[in-house]
Amino acid sequence: MFCDMLREYRKQKGYSQTQLGARIGVTRQAISRWESGADTPSLERIAMLARVLGVSIDTLAGRPAPLTSDVRVDRTAQMINVPILSREVVACCGRGQPVLDITSPAEPGIQIPRSRLHRYDDSRPPYAIYADGDCLESEGIEPGDQIVINPAEEPAQGAIALVSLYGMLSLKFFYRLGNGVICLRSDRGDQRLTPEEQDAADFFVVGVLVGTFKPRPRPRPF
């Protein structure tokens, strides 16, 4: 079972529940609930746990078959449905937004063209989250926009990516420079990170931006 595998691989890595939680941006209590089987993390959280623990998602899940999600892709369909995560976690277009332990239910999904996905992985399906901050207004991204992230895609040079830096989620232009250096760019300037700085900041790319949507305003009550 997932709870048993999580506990086993956490101990093999030598992490306490607090340390593992800090690595993926959740509380010790969240890790404890997952290990006791009282709660189950989202697919995105499972992917983050697998990465930190150095195992595959299938191994961590204790299944021989790949994990699947509520998002199914019909290869002949022109549109797919993407779930919207809770407003408790947002993609900041500024200094960063802490990765929170999501407890409230997700909102109904949105439809996106299948052609926007260059790659699809059942174990890392696309999802939408809300944007916050104003550092990508040059791209028309405003606070409250719904942005679709595809974790299965690697960012091309100059692509907009959702990244995690010191446990903070940020939406940035992504560039690879020489000698393993990366550059994260927004309307407020550049941030360059050497490989050593990336390790110290526990930096990783969460996914690539594949769509932005303006939520329709709610009708006013009469």
Any idea where the domains of the chain sit in the sequence?
2-61, 79-213
Q: pLDDT band at residue 170, thresholds of 50, 70 and 90? A: confident
For residues 6 and 60, is the Cβ–Cβ distance under 8 A?
yes
**What is the band of 182 on the pLDDT scale with cuts at 50, 70, 90?**
very high
Residue whose pair of structure tokens reads 């052609």 in the numeric block = 115
What 3-state DSSP class applies to 137? helix
Domain 2-61 = CATH 1.10.260.40: yes
pLDDT at 6: 92
Give tens-digit pLDDT for 96-134: 443 433 333 345 677 888 777 888 877 678 888 888 877
How far is 120 from 73, CA to CA, in rounded Å? 8
The span from the CA of 176 to the CA of 9, in Å, is 32
Tokens of 95: 């200094």
Strands 79-84 and 107-113: antiparallel
pLDDT (mean) for 49-56? 82
165 vs 193: CA distance, rounded Å = 10
Comparison of pLDDT for 75 and 200, the residue scoring more = 200
Query: How far from each other are the two terminal CA atoms of the chain, in whole angstroms?
Result: 52
| Cα gap 22→28, rounded to integer Å | 8
CA angle 43, 44, 48 (to 5 degrees): 115
Q: CB pairs under 8 A, 24+ apart, for 14-20?
A: 20/49, 20/52, 20/53
What's the pTM value of the predicted model, to 2 decimals?
A: 0.59
Q: 206: Cβ–Cβ under 8 A, 6 or more apart, which residues?
A: 149, 151, 161, 162, 163, 164, 169
Fold of 79-213: Umud Fragment, subunit A (2.10.109)
- The Cα-based distances of 133 to 3, 136, 167 in angstroms read 36, 8, 17
Residue 216 half-sphere exposure toward CB, CA atoms < 13 A: 4
Q: Is 200 exposed, middle or buried (0-12, 13-18, 19+ CB in 10 A)?
A: exposed
